Structure 1
Amino acid sequence: MERCINKIKDWRGLATRYDKSSADYLAGLHLRGSLIWIRSLRPTG
């Protein structure tokens, strides 16, 4: 769990919370989470 939180915080916009509204922040959080998930689907080899 801690690694996932650190991956999310690697995105500067989420770590510093530049977005003013909570809806924008939540959208960025969903976008970052989906990017992490999609990258985890790549085959390792």
Structure 2
Amino acid sequence: MKGANAALSPADVDAAEELLRGADLILMQLEVPLETVYHTVARAAEWG
């Protein structure tokens, strides 16, 4: 059975941009959809 992590979407990442931009580290386990992982990595690269 998939948990709540499976529902995390790229839109959720974008909605949390302010919080994520302030993070020193974003740790991702592959419990979220790969589309969301790739999106998060791309956005984090844009944010520096």
Task: Give the TM-score range, shorter chain.
Answer: 0.3 to 0.5
Report 1 or 2 for greater relative contact order, CA contacts < 8 Å, sequence distance ≥ 6. 2
| TM-score (ref. length: structure 2) | 0.41
**Structure with the higher helix share, 1 or 2:** 1
| TM-score (ref. length: structure 1) | 0.43
